[in-house]
Amino acid sequence: MRISSVGTAYPPHRYPQAEISQALLERWAGKLEEPRLLTRLHANCGVEFRNLALPLEDYPKLVGFGQTNSAWITAAVELGELAVTRALDRVGITAADVSAIFFASVTGIASPTIDARLINRMPFPVNVKRTPIFGLGCVAGAAGVARAADYVRAFPKEIALLLSVELCSLTWQDDDQSVANLISTGLFADGAAAVLIAGAESKLAAPTIPSPKILATRSTFYRNTEHVMGWDIGDLGFKIVLSPDVPKIVHENFLGNVTGFLTDHQLTQADISSYIFHSGGPKVLEAMETSLSLPPNALAPSWKSLREVGNLSAASVLAVLEDFLTIHPGAPGTYSILAAMGPAFCSELVLLQW
């Protein structure tokens, strides 16, 4: 089984970070005790540009969770279809070749889910199996790859699709001027990513483009850390929970997770040629680099993704993965680790071989 293709899609409304910060300063005029705090926090997010689901001037027009979530559904379907189409076109197959869809998002809700709506727009088989995933947050990109790999391990003749659409700008809260929300509005962004995971006996088993094998996966749950990251969901929608303890948890756990995972597969860090990590933010990336004693530029594609498109929640690690498949593939036989962390708090590791 292998990762055959990745396709990404971003909304057309692209802004420099400073322009978004200024728009929020104007929107929240009179609500911020110290307006310069927002500007400073946004400047420290490591983000230079972001794509947003709507034009900046349209956000104040959304009233209540219902309108916001309706906007999420409309944009998620459009972006999701584009990302899936790009992933399919890259390897010359169609939606009719897909046997299972895993859909991950944590920025909106829909029933029927976004994947169901896409089946009505694209030629997926009517008996395609669907697994919507909600609540995993940033870790869902790596976890979705792992769960799709579990599927094609059981059904080696089939191809699974993972789609993540995250529209973080549609969770902005006008009545929350906490530091967590100020950071969130400067760090998280909008985008979609689709990944094709092919069974060992499927039509994509013999790749014509760089396509790493999935050798193993590992989920790790950190008990009693649910206060670290997630949502408080109320009448106005999703209110961010984001603790400054996230880098501390990375420092305390990540090295042991990676070392134990590799040891179980008779490998060490010296065997890993590249790291495909979720672009969680400067402090998270720095914690990953420090905890694993990585050399300079080991996470350059993750830092690049953070600068150019922001933190896309679950879609971030998949956007970084696209960079590796199209620009920085590993040499044949070399190993990579794909990793993300998210609410619970938890981590997901995927061992790849090129």
* pLDDT of res. 261: 98
Please tell me the pTM assigned to this model. 0.96
Q: Which of 27-36, 200-209, 275-284 has the highest mean pLDDT?
A: 275-284
- Provide the H-helix boundaries in 176-268: 179-187, 246-263
Enumerate the active-site residues: 138
Q: pLDDT above 70 covers what percent of the chain?
A: 100
* pLDDT of res. 208: 83
Q: 213-353 is classed in which CATH architecture?
A: 3-Layer(aba) Sandwich (3.40)
β-bridge partners, 341: 347
Give per-residue pLDDT as tens, 166-189: 999 999 999 899 999 999 999 999
Residues 189 and 13: beta-carbon distance below 8 Å: no
Give per-residue pLDDT as tens, 264-302: 999 999 999 999 999 999 999 999 999 999 999 999 999
The span from the CA of 350 to the CA of 139, in Å, is 12
Structure tokens at 193: 């990513």
Question: Per-residue pLDDT for 33 more than 90?
Answer: no
Give per-residue pLDDT as tens, 78-134: 999 999 999 999 999 999 999 999 999 999 999 999 999 999 999 999 999 999 999
Same fold, 2-198 and 213-353: yes
Provide DSSP, 320-352.
HHHHHHHT-PPPTT-EEEEEEEETTTEEEEEEE
* pLDDT of res. 211: 94
Classified as helix, coil or strand, 131 is: strand
Sequence spans of domains, the chain: 2-198, 213-353
**Nearest CA to 44 among 22, 20, 17?**
17
Bridge pairing between strands 129-134 and 100-105: parallel
The span from the CA of 219 to the CA of 291, in Å, is 18
CATH topology of domain 2-198: Peroxisomal Thiolase; Chain A, domain 1 (3.40.47)
Residues 145 and 152: beta-carbon distance below 8 Å: no
* pLDDT of res. 229: 92
Contacts of 274 (CB under 8 A, 6+ apart): 298, 324, 328, 330, 334, 336
Give per-residue pLDDT as tens, 13-29: 999 999 999 999 999 98
Structure tokens at 171: 């969770």
The b/e string for 181-195 (b: 16+ C-beta within 10 A; e otherwise) is bbbbbbbbbbbbbbb
Classified as helix, coil or strand, 277 is: strand
Distance, first Cα to last Cα, the chain: 12
Burial grade of 271 (CB within 10 A; 0-12, 13-18, 19 or more) = middle
